[in-house]
Amino acid sequence: MKIFNTLSRTKQEFIPLEENKVRMYVCGPTVYNFIHIGNARPMIVFDTVRRYFEYKGYDVNFVSNFTDVDDKIIKKALEEGVSSDEISKRYIAECKKDMEGMNIKPATKHPLATEEIGGMVEMIQKLIDKGFAYEKNGTVYYRTRKFEEYGKLSHKNLDDLRSGERSLLVTGEDEKEDALDFVLWKPKKEGEPYWESPWSDGRPGWHIECSVMSKKYLGEQIDIHAGGEDLVFPHHENEIAQSEAANGKEFSKYWMHNAFLNIDNRKMSKSLGNFRTVREISEQYDLQVLRFFMLSAHYRSPLNFSADLMEASKSGLERIVNAADHLKFLMGNAKNETMTETEKDSFAKTDAFVHGFEHAMEDDFNTADAAAAVFDLVKYANTNTDEESSEEYLKALFDRLVKLTDVLGLIVDKEEDILEEEIEKLIKERQAARKAKDFARADAIRDELLEKGIILKDTREGVQWKRA
């Protein structure tokens, strides 16, 4: 299995630190609003990486954090007149709903930054003791130049950063020893949440959070650290500097980064009016379609989101689901139970599609080519089965299809469709709950219907619904 390592800028054979085990850390979102489709890409990509490792028999310890203390969270809390804790808890819950809709497996551990402050204070003190950090007026800074390998991940040179790329400098005040030094701990401002430390009542810098959470739940060395390419510098570069200075050993063997997501060939931004949340997408499509769309390109390639591409993904996913449904229908009506010799030969030919799928995934997780192998299997199943096929043959094809699509996180073995009367009954119950201001119940009903492939749309004329 080969992985493109950002550190070496080459594809490298994956060799785990411990046989048959993978320790993997993925930077999670800062929770101050609904997650957007840019957040969704690394979630889907690295969930699929995890699923493939598990498919190959690895025991995967998968850790992905929630940043629940941050300037943006504090700003949102002040705007709403509530605590930062209330904002972060609300949007962690909303994020988990969206993740469930995208069929993202819960991490082995989802640590919260605010619950790991003690470990952060300890690591910062260790960096001070080793001479890698210093305190000025309650703020603790990391001495970037003290870490000789700084820049090895982003392939940036410290002197170039200082002279030719001022925009990349970490912002700070005159009290820093060097403009490139970054913050490990900062004193509180009026109205902000804070924690006690030997230097000041305050809160940690963003970079130290991941170093500490990764160490606590995965150990001093990990196999894979992953995230969006926007995190390479300065976030992941700073994580390496902190972790390797504190622990005295290589932090992560492999670094994986997904490319950006554009919308209609433009960068997503609120100012351009093309900012799309996952929740908004869920009102138009089953989130399985979004997942399939995200896997339609290699994770290191830029991906363009558009209505046409989403429709194409919807059609492609329907082809796979329809093939699975057809096999189930034939199974339910099959006359013969066991495979004939001809069917055994026919099923053996599908080994080629499995090999194609695995070859694609083992070449730096090429999900686009893996999906093409699934389509080859779908076409074969459609053209090599009929009413005379045996139940055993049909089930073998069905199980093979389900096994491969499960690696991609696609649910093709869906439950029977919900009846219209049941839909209308739940919509009435939701309306009553909203009238009674029981919004939690109303949201729960919407989520329940969405799981069953029913999309609700609130209009002036009333609630409209459609099947995804």
| Cα separation, 457 vs 448, whole angstroms | 14
Domain borders along the chain are 2-258, 278-407, 420-467
Find, among 175, 201, 198, the residue nearest to 188 by Cα: 201
Distances (CA, A) of 12 to 1, 19, 26, 62, 331: 8, 17, 19, 21, 43
Mean pLDDT of 338-365: 98
Mean pLDDT of 321-335: 92
Residues 13-72 have pLDDT tens digits of 999 999 999 999 999 999 999 999 999 999 999 999 999 999 999 999 999 999 999 999
Q: What are phi and psi of 219, to 5 degrees?
A: 105, 175
Cβ count near 138 (within 10 Å): 14
| Cα separation, 109 vs 62, whole angstroms | 7
Find, among 97, 120, 105, the residue nearest to 31 by Cα: 97
Tally the C-alpha atoms within 13 A of residue 359's C-alpha that lie toward its C-beta.
Answer: 10
**What is the token pair recorded at 146?**
């003290």
Q: Say if residue 127's pLDDT is above 80.
A: yes
CATH homologous superfamily, domain 2-258: HUPs (3.40.50.620)
- Give me the pLDDT at residue 69, please: 93
Using CA atoms of 108, 114, 119, 121 in order, give the dihedral in degrees to the nearest 10.
Answer: 160
Length of the chain: 468
Q: Say if residue 320's pLDDT is above 80.
A: yes
Q: Considering only the top CATH level, what class is 278-407?
A: mainly alpha
Q: Say if residue 95's pLDDT is above 60.
A: yes
**What is the token pair recorded at 1?**
């299995």
DSSP string, 133-201: EEEETTEEEE-GGGSTTTTTTTT--HHHHHHT-GGGSPP--TTSSSTT-EEEEEE--TT---B--SS-S
